[in-house]
Amino acid sequence: MKARFLRLLRIFATVPVAILLVAVIRVIRPFLLIRIGALKSDRIGHFVLETELMLLEQKAGISPKRKKTIDFWYAPEPIANQFVYEMWKRRLNIWPNWMMISLFKVNSFLPLKRVHQIPTATSTCLDVHNLLDRYPPMHSFTKNEVAQGSEILTQMGVGEGDRFVCFIVRDSAYTRKVFPGKDLSYHDYRNCDVSDYVLGAEALAERGLFVFRMGSVVSSPLISSHPRVIDYANSQFRSEFMDVFIGANCEFCVSDGLGFYAIPAAFRKPNAYVNFSPFHMFYSSRSCDLGITKTLCDFLSNKRLCLSEMKTRGVAGLSQTKDFEKAGVLVCDNSPEEIRDLMLEMLDRVEGKWRPEPYDEDLQDSFWQKFTEVIGEHKFISHGEIRAKFGAKFLRENPDWIR
């Protein structure tokens, strides 16, 4: 409490200086445009990917940047990952919060405020312009960081040349700890059970890969007797640096759409999505990605709704727990077998062993056509060109769901 009070005191003390600086910024605008931006640093997905998409939109000309422009940033606390913060400091002009917060606020109260604000990404973390497929990663590790990460992997039993996959399961433990005063139950329907992932993790391990369960704060331990399935989240090796190093060097990441997926995406590693929700936001922009979603079931009959029924009942675009309850539908998890099948399909695709069956392409076309029809206006908000694949075995076993 005392530390917070002192921070606020320092911010208020800088207001007179901020007023002067904002006046100077406006005077010199014809010669040099100075812009200010606040990074979304409290959530790892936004901190990593939304920031990168902002910069890529500038590079692609989607968010034009005048030639004589200097951008200054700050990172509001809490910072989701300190190592990501250090990586962004290598590329961005990030200045101390105690000065930048008052500068940003003063600018926000004055006319022409948007001229001096760095434009945000078009659609937060959603790559609606398919930029991640067009541009290489922005980040890289130093030689010392590579050596450090490799040494820790060796301590974990991962030898040189060994391959590994990581997966992460959403629960409410992290948000309860980091945001204790916030009610985030509106996203409870996105939570999953880590035990449902053991079957898939062990199947990958049997194919010779190490499998790391990721997470900084988790509700339940991962229970598996397989020596290559590692509960990294509860291990002595877990650190913010290793979170990034593992996500950046994995063969692929298995995620339910939790923010960690942004790290593999930022390093152009494939993501395999299971239990993805909300349905209308399914990450569709990258050609290397694959996934399946949670499904919706009628509350009374427990019957799975097909896509047409989801559209008729107006539930395909819902994204809050209370709205699903009000609509009389349950958000149902994928089964352990469905999760395993999706993981193995991704591994086959990565290894070049994937062999489609005769009607797979027709099923993909049917699903994505119906998907864009069912989600309505969200196809313009959350999607660009659809390049991802939906799980082939899931579509084969549930053709009636597509209708």
Residues of the chain with CATH 3.40.50.2000: 151-402
Rounded mean pLDDT of 358-362?
97
pLDDT level of residue 11 (50, 70, 90 thresholds): low
Give 374's Cβ-side CA count (13 Å radius).
Answer: 26
In this predicted model, what pLDDT tens digit does every residue of 193-236 receive, in sequence order? 999 999 999 999 999 999 999 999 899 999 999 999 999 999 99
Q: Give me the phi and psi of 48, to 5 degrees please.
A: -80, -60
ω into 270 cis (within 30 of 0): no
Task: Give residue 239's pLDDT.
Answer: 98
Chain mean pLDDT for the chain: 94
In this predicted model, what pLDDT tens digit does every residue of 325-346 receive, in sequence order? 999 999 999 999 999 999 999 9
Q: Which CATH code for domain 151-402?
A: 3.40.50.2000
Burial, 327: exposed, middle or buried (Cβ in 10 Å; 0-12, 13-18, 19+)?
middle
In this predicted model, what pLDDT tens digit does every residue of 75-107 receive, in sequence order? 999 999 999 999 999 999 999 998 899 999 999
Task: Give residue 152's pLDDT.
Answer: 98
Q: Is the pLDDT confidence value at 113 over 90?
A: yes
Contact 131, 56 (CB under 8 A): yes
pLDDT level of residue 187 (50, 70, 90 thresholds): confident
Provide the CA 165 distance to its chain's centre, in angstroms. 17
Q: Which of 142-145's residues contact partners 24+ apart within 8 Å by CB, and which partners?
A: 145/241, 145/245
Instruction: Name the E strands within 196-245.
Output: 210-213, 229-230
d(CA 83, CA 244): 8
Range 161-191 burial, b when 16+ CB lie within 10 A, else e = eebbbbbbbbbebbbeeeeeeeeeeeeebbb
Rounded mean pLDDT of 376-402?
97
d(CA 21, CA 103): 8
Angle among Cα 111, 114, 118 to the nearest 5 degrees reads 150
Task: Give residue 13's pLDDT.
Answer: 81
pLDDT level of residue 186 (50, 70, 90 thresholds): low
Size (the chain), residues? 403
Contact 329, 299 (CB under 8 A): yes
In this predicted model, what pLDDT tens digit does every residue of 261-311 receive, in sequence order? 999 999 999 999 999 999 999 999 999 999 999 999 999 999 999 999 999
Rounded mean pLDDT of 38-57?
97
Provide the CA 108 distance to its chain's centre, in angstroms. 28
